[in-house]
Chains A and B, each alone.
Chain A
Amino acid sequence: MTEPGSNEDKLARLLRAAYTETPALSPTARVAILERTLVEVRKRGGRRAAAGARGFLYAAAALGLVVLLALAAVQLWYPREAELATLHVQAGPVELQRTRTRILWFRESSTVTLAAGETARLAAGDRMRTGAGAAADIAFAEGSTATLAAETELAIARLDRSPGGQIELRLEAGQAAASVHALPSRAPHLTILTPAVSAVAEGTRFAVAVIAADHTFLAADAGTVRVRMQEQEARLGAGEELDAILGQPLVVRSQTPPQPALDPLPEAVYEPQIAVAGQVVSTPQAAPAVLVEIYVNDALQTTLALDAAGRFSWDYTAPGFGSYRFHAVAQSARGKAGAPSAAVSTTYSKRAPAFQLARTGQGELPVSELGQYATRESVVTLVGRGTPGETVVIYLDGVEVGRAAVDASGSFTFQFTAPAEGAYPLRAVALDDAGYASAEVLLATIVYDITPPILRLTRFPGDEVSAARVTLGGQTEPGAGLTMNGAPVAVDAAGSFTFEVALAPGPNAIRLIATDAAGNTVCSTSTILRK
């Protein structure tokens, strides 16, 4: 509001006075302007409709663009399979099935067969199968490696891109060995899953074999491996192994098999074939032995399989005469060797002459209890067996006393003449044409004895007794036989004897006869009167 009379009020009145007229639109202009305005309104409505349609199209296009951009962003963001491992085929064929994300959840699978020397990049989800005789290595970017044996199926279940990421391998059949690259600050990161167990490597080298769906074998060569089977858990240390069998306890054992034991051998053998045998007794604390190595004179000669009882046998053919020392070493299925067995030895010799009998003109001599052949004859014929064509050399006290040829039937005879009474241990060797001699053996001890044995009574009740039974005793030659009135009397090894005799009333004759091994006899007759 302006103050009346003020300059502003004066100005206001001047201006209002100057612009007092109220202009009016001409009717024509009024109608024309209205028409044009309404036309504009209609046009705008049409534009709005068109704009609405266009807007819909624009919105749809914009939405499509947004979706495309979102897809692109998601595609960029979406974690693609990181190819963080390389498969090296050592021996083919190896079938590799690869699955890769193409767009979002759209995945593409392909299968290739790789030959020896070929390589392929691997990512999570890849599966590989080695054929018969094939072998392959997997090198992981973080430094760990895995080796696949023939006829093995392995899938890479997880292969994280991030540092310290996890590697999970699913071994479905066959055998795999892994060498895990362990960093001091790094948590265990490599896990092998089998149908029966999960094995987490804690910086180690270890091997896994799927024996069956419910049976997995694991062995740690370095570091430790944590094995989980259902509710059970075990920790394998270096040099340990276990058989994880569903439903059975996890028992950790040494990878070293038990020590074998060899059967004793004869001191000498006369044929080149030497039968070597032994046994490996299984224990729960040691790996089962599947093979034994046989060493001859510390040189490996053969490897033998074990039967169900752990026994093994082998016929060794000696290449020549001499001593042979054998020992055995057990091996586990993984080729781990146990402690060597105690050694057993034998000597392969030329077959020594074998004594058969000794005879005189009176016939074959019996062997005494002392293993001697006693005779009252000075000439004794010895008969023995040997290798046809060889010569038997007879020694007495180290001095050759004669030779005998072995005939085609393998027999030889040697006539020995005793120079005087006495015992003659005759030893012999077999000698072949090449000059090889057998071991010297005792052929027989001939005793030339023409002296009757002693016989004396040391216990005699007297010439007259009243008792119905009396005891008598005495001494004779050791080994001699004794009879009393024709009945044998026992003589001990020292030649002593004691016997009881029943006396009839009146005089009783006691007739003792001693006979030595050579047949020499002595007779003693006594009479005891029973009053």
Chain B
Amino acid sequence: MVTSATAERQLVARVAQGDEEAAAELYRLFSGRLYAFIYRQVGGDPSLGEEVLQDTFLAAVRSAGRFREESTVFTWLCGIAWRQAADRNRRARRRRQVLEGHTAEEFMPLSGAPQPEEEVQREETRAWVRQIVESLPDRYRSVLLLKYVEELSTQEIAQITGRSIRAVESLLLRARATFREHAELRGDV
């Protein structure tokens, strides 16, 4: 179902008025895309992604009245999700620091059935890319995902993260440089 930006904004307005149908429609329209966005922001943790999605919609319902229509509804929801995910990520990082000293194997999922070699190599590439991305500071990781995975414009990233466009561009520049440094250390890029 294709909806216009105006119709999406009217949905938000109706949600602000307590319209359950509008809330259900808003959920139907954006929950899938938003979950994918959140999933990547939280490092691929499905249950954490669901929690963040839940928190995002709850926050969206509570703040629907403050939606100023300066961005698209999806960008507005992404902004909420991004802040929720960032908060979760900060808490997760602190949790990881507490658990430091334990071996990685203890937390690594066990491999399943054997895979072909090419697939294994692509999977290794994806894995180390993800490792690098996940090892980056949150601000770098986040803008890289928003820019190159979610394929959002710099302006949209600025709206989601609450930064200026110039700050986002600067952040992207430093994020790319940092990613490259990490990749060069591995000798793969």
Contacts and interface: CB of A to CB of B under 8 A. Distances in A.
B78 interface: no
A25 B53 contact: yes
B133 A41 contact: no
A38 B53 CA distance: 14
B148 A25 contact: no
Contacts of B61: 37, 40-41, 44
A33 B31 contact: yes
Contacts of B127: 18
A30 interface: yes
Contacts of A42: 18, 20
B176 interface: yes
Interface in A16-52: 16-26, 29-30, 32-34, 36-38, 40-42, 44-45, 48
B46 to A, nearest CB: 6
Contacts of A33: 27, 31, 50, 53-54, 57
A400 interface: no
Contacts of B23: 37-38, 41
A44 to B, nearest CB: 6
B49 A23 contact: yes
Interface stretch (B33-41, B103-111, B155-163): B33-41
B180 interface: yes
Nearest to B15: A41
B176 A29 contact: no
Contacts of B180: 7, 11
A36 B23 CA distance: 11
A308 interface: no
A33 B179 CA distance: 35
A15 interface: yes
A30 B53 CA distance: 10
Contact of B35 (A11, A24, A38): A24
B144 A25 contact: no
A290 to B, nearest CB: 92
B128 to A, nearest CB: 9
A25 B133 CA distance: 23
A116 interface: no
Interface string B114-155: 000000001001110110010000000000110111000000
A60 interface: no
Interface of A is mostly: helix
B136 to A, nearest CB: 11
B125 A17 contact: yes
Interface in A69-127: none
Given A37-B61, A45-B18, A18 B32 contact: no
Contacts of B145: 15, 19
Interface residues of A, number: 32
A61 interface: no
A111 B101 CA distance: 95
A358 to B, nearest CB: 147
B19 interface: yes
A23 B58 contact: no
B93 interface: no
Contact of A23 (B36, B129, B176): B36
A34 B53 contact: no
B96 interface: no
B24 interface: yes
A221 B130 CA distance: 112
Nearest to A34: B27
A8 interface: yes
A34 to B, nearest CB: 5
B56 to A, nearest CB: 9
A12 interface: yes
B62 interface: yes
A19 B149 contact: yes
23 contacts: A10-B189, A11-B176, A14-B125, A15-B145, A17-B125, A18-B133, A19-B145, A20-B126, A21-B44, A23-B35, A23-B44, A23-B46, A24-B32, A25-B31, A25-B32, A26-B46, A33-B27, A33-B53, A36-B57, A37-B27, A37-B61, A45-B17, A48-B18
Interface of B: 15, 17-20, 23-24, 27, 31-32, 35-36, 39-40, 44, 46, 49-50, 53-54, 57-58, 61-62, 122, 125-127, 129-130, 133, 144-145, 147-149, 176, 179-180, 189
Interface of A: 7-8, 10-12, 14-26, 29-30, 32-34, 36-38, 40-42, 44-45, 48
Given A16-B148, A18-B133, A25-B35, 19 more contacts: A10-B189, A11-B148, A12-B147, A15-B145, A15-B148, A18-B125, A19-B130, A19-B145, A22-B36, A23-B44, A24-B32, A29-B53, A33-B54, A36-B57, A37-B54, A37-B61, A41-B18, A42-B18, A44-B61
Question: 4 smallest A-B Cβ distances: which pairs?
Answer: A45-B18, A18-B129, A12-B148, A23-B39
